[in-house]
Amino acid sequence: MSAKPVVMTPHERTRPLNVIGEQVTVLVDGATTGNFEIFHQDGPEGTGPPPHNHPWHEAFFVLAGELTFGIEDAGEQIAPPGTFVFIPAGTTHWFRFGPGGGQMLNMTPTPGIGAAFAEVDRRISPEEPNIDLVIEIGTKHGLTWAVPAD
């Protein structure tokens, strides 16, 4: 099948997904593009995933606020607005939204992580998240966690 042009306006998007306090808006999914997915993530201070990796590349572009990224053994990297971060497949990483929260774009060249975000939105309370269930859902969708649940 050959790729077809896609134009998506804001009113065609689904509601933001609540992923343990972060608001994740699917800007375009893999079913629509036949390939990559792009998400807008709006997170309050301190939110973000624990260290993990997955078999697909991932890229981030910081739009607002400041984020801290942890990438393998490189230590913490501070990412102000305008910062681009590329994470190769299989690289353990994490991020945290900094003071006052922030916003970023998240891009993956492989369809599917949007399904994990949607499942977390459906099944997990952002007020009282069940971390074991978060780990179960992430694992089901291809994430490998670098730290066990507490």
pLDDT value, residue 150: 45
pLDDT in tens, the chain (150 residues): 577 898 989 888 889 999 988 999 999 998 888 889 999 999 999 999 989 999 999 999 999 999 999 999 788 999 999 999 999 999 999 999 999 999 999 999 987 889 999 999 999 988 888 888 988 999 999 999 986 444
Kindly report the pTM of this predicted structure: 0.90
The number of beta carbons lying within 10 Å of the beta carbon of residue 15 is: 9
3-state secondary structure 42-111: EECCCCCCCCEECCCCEEEEEEEEEEEEEECCCCEEEECCCCEEEECCCCCEEEEEEEEEEEEEEEECCC
CB-based contacts of 137: which residues, under 8 Å, 6+ apart? 116, 119, 120, 123, 124
23 membership: H or E segment, kind and range = strand 22-28
127 membership: H or E segment, kind and range = none
CATH architecture of 15-145: Sandwich (2.60)
